[in-house]
Chains A and B, each alone.
Chain A
Amino acid sequence: MSTNSELDFTVDKAAKTVIIKREFDADLSLVWDAFTKAELLDQWLPPKPMTAKTKYQDFKVGGKRFYAMITPEGKELWAIQEYTSITPKTNFKMYNAFADKDENPELPGSEWDHTFSEHDGTTEVNITIYNESLERLERILDGFTKGMKMSLSNLENLLATLSKK
């Protein structure tokens, strides 16, 4: 099997859009499930060492997924995804926003558009993410790297304490 699938990743700063394209060595229905079923999403979406948990998911137009990314220190970063359009095994759109643990969204969020197509047993996925602000785009990354930053800051504090002795 091919393992060297190229990731196409472009950022259009003026259009405030991130465009992502990638092929997967699996059939369409399996890849569709991996992107739309919470129990599968929780397994691959959080970049290590983070983990994820979904509190609930209702995959239908107007339905939501309420989930958290969890840092190695156990801090939970909650987000809500609301499905705005679904064409089974072809396309789905959602609105993603950070939230607190009580499901209060922090607006503005970002608009996600996923398109799926199959060619000879491989499935191509195209994702566009539109962000109201580049600043928010930065915060998404901040969320992902928070775990690492916290570890670094713990280390800094530890070193500072030790150096006082």
Chain B
Amino acid sequence: MHIYLQPNGFLNKLLQMRRDIFQAIADPTRRAIIALIALQAMTPNAIAENFNTTRQAVSKHLRILTECELVKQESHGREIYYSLEIEKMKEIDKWLEQYRKIWESRFTQLDELLLNIKKQKK
């Protein structure tokens, strides 16, 4: 049996992944971290300097962002640099695009309904 035919395996992964992304951006500090490292790769210390919070708190946010695969780590010498996974951020836009499409299709339905009502009135 092929791995991609396992019941629900692929779909569950897909759904789980999307949920994680939204958990990641639901927090204002994590959104600020994303905005920071979108500009350049940064070390945890450099990131922490921008917040009135502990280094541990920033590390926790970075861990969540890493788990959601929104950020990636790269080692340069003894330092670890965090940078943004642009492709993953695009997932969010894709998701929002779906939401937009739903509104487009329901408004097209409304156009048809309005037209039918106007015809009946005549």
Contacts and interface: CB of A to CB of B under 8 A. Distances in A.
A14 B5 CA distance: 39
Q: Is the interface of A mostly helix, strand, loop or mixed?
A: helix
Q: Which size bracket describes the interface of B in this complex? A: 35 or more
A13 B1 contact: no
B98 A145 contact: yes
A106 B1 CA distance: 40
A31 to B, nearest CB: 7
A34 B6 contact: no
Contacts of A90: none
B109 A43 contact: yes
Interface string B4-17: 01111011000100
Given A43-B109, A141-B95, A9 B7 contact: no
Contact of A156 (B10, B106, B107, B117): B10
Interface string A122-165: 00000000000111011011001100010011001101100110
Given A9-B100, A135-B19, A160-B5, A149 B113 contact: no
A40 interface: yes
Interface in B23-80: 23, 25-26, 28, 31
Given A9-B103, A44-B113, A160-B6, A134 B26 contact: yes
Interface stretch (A20-28, A71-79, A95-103, A108-116): A20-28
Contacts of B87: none
Given A149-B11, A159-B5, A30 B117 contact: yes
A5 interface: yes
B74 to A, nearest CB: 27
A25 B110 CA distance: 10
A125 to B, nearest CB: 9
Contacts of B7: 153, 156-157, 160
Given A14-B31, A157-B7, A47 B105 contact: yes
Contacts of B102: 47, 141, 144
Given A24-B114, A149-B15, 5 more contacts: A34-B110, A47-B109, A133-B26, A153-B7, A160-B6
